[in-house]
Amino acid sequence: MLSVAQLGTRLHVLIDPATPEPENRVLQRLRAASVEAQSTLVRASLEDVFVAATGFGRAAGARQQG
């Protein structure tokens, strides 16, 4: 997972396009954290592109990896 951003009531997860079965990977990580959720694979929205381009959400990702 490259980044996670909260947009309204949803979390948008940016994943490397080469990741196999990205939807299953997200659900596995959520279940491992005892979080019940639904996941839908979608194309990036304009808002997602803005978040990725501005680096918003990278600080949260850095905290999780560190």
pLDDT value for 47:
81
Domain boundaries, the chain: 3-65
> Residue 3: is its pLDDT beyond 90?
no
Element (H, E) at 6: strand 3-7
C-alpha distance from residue 8 to each of 3, 11, 47 (Å) = 16, 8, 11
Cβ contact 7:57 at 8 Å: no
pLDDT tens digits for range 23-59 = 998 899 889 999 988 888 888 888 878 877 887 655 5
